């Protein structure tokens, strides 16, 4: 469980910084709306990063904390520091949040199989939040 939670912690951390990058570099006629939405998304990830690290500690594990470890463990990729349109930014967010949803769902399944109610309950929160955000992002793209 520790390695799976650390992989989630890594992906959340990379996604947080990726969203900041997109927030800073988004451009176009809908800049103000996209800029604000991207900031709301990265602000929403910060508590999850802390929660997962503290969950690892509660379970007697060791959360990864260095950027080198985070980048090594993550399978969500950083992006280059260059301008992008909001459609491109939100397509990337949908892809990354879908990956996070798959990841937390798999962790929940394993936690349920181990009767680890603490992890299972936390993953339920993330499944609900990510599902709602993905629905909203799909509506925006329609």
Q: How far apart are CA 118 and CA 123, in angstroms?
A: 9
Domain that holds residue 74: 2-141
Residue 141 has pLDDT above 80, yes or no: no
The residue to which tokens 């690892």 are assigned: 56
Q: What is the mean pLDDT of residues 45-69?
A: 97
The total of structural domains in the chain comes to 1
Q: What is the CATH number of the domain that holds 103?
A: 1.20.1260.10
Q: How far apart are CA 29 and CA 140, in angstroms?
A: 15
The residue to which tokens 């509506």 are assigned: 139
Confidence at 8, pLDDT banded by 50, 70, 90: very high
| Predicted confidence (pLDDT) per residue in 17-37, tens digit | 999 999 999 999 999 999 999
* pTM across the whole model: 0.95
DSSP of 34-83: HHHHHHHHHHHHHHHHHHHHHHHHHTT-----SHHHHHHH--SPP--SS-
| Predicted confidence (pLDDT) per residue in 78-125, tens digit | 999 999 999 999 999 999 999 999 999 999 999 999 999 999 999 999
């Amino acid at each position: 469980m520790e390695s799976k939670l650390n992989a989630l912690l890594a992906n959340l951390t990379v996604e947080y910084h990726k969203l900041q990058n997109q927030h800073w570099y988004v451009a176009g006629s809908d800049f103000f709306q996209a800029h604000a939405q991207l900031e709301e998304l990265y602000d929403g990830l910060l508590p999850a990063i802390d929660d997962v690290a503290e969950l690892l500690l509660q379970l007697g594990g060791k959360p990864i904390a260095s950027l080198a470890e985070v980048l090594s463990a993550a399978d969500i990729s950083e992006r280059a520091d260059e301008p992008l349109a909001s459609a491109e930014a939100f397509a990337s967010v949908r892809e990354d949040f879908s990956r996070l949803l798959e990841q937390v769902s798999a962790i929940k399944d394993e936690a349920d199989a181990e009767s680890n109610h603490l992890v299972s309950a936390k993953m339920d929160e993330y499944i609900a939040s990510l599902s709602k955000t993905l629905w909203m992002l799909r509506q925006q793209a329609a």
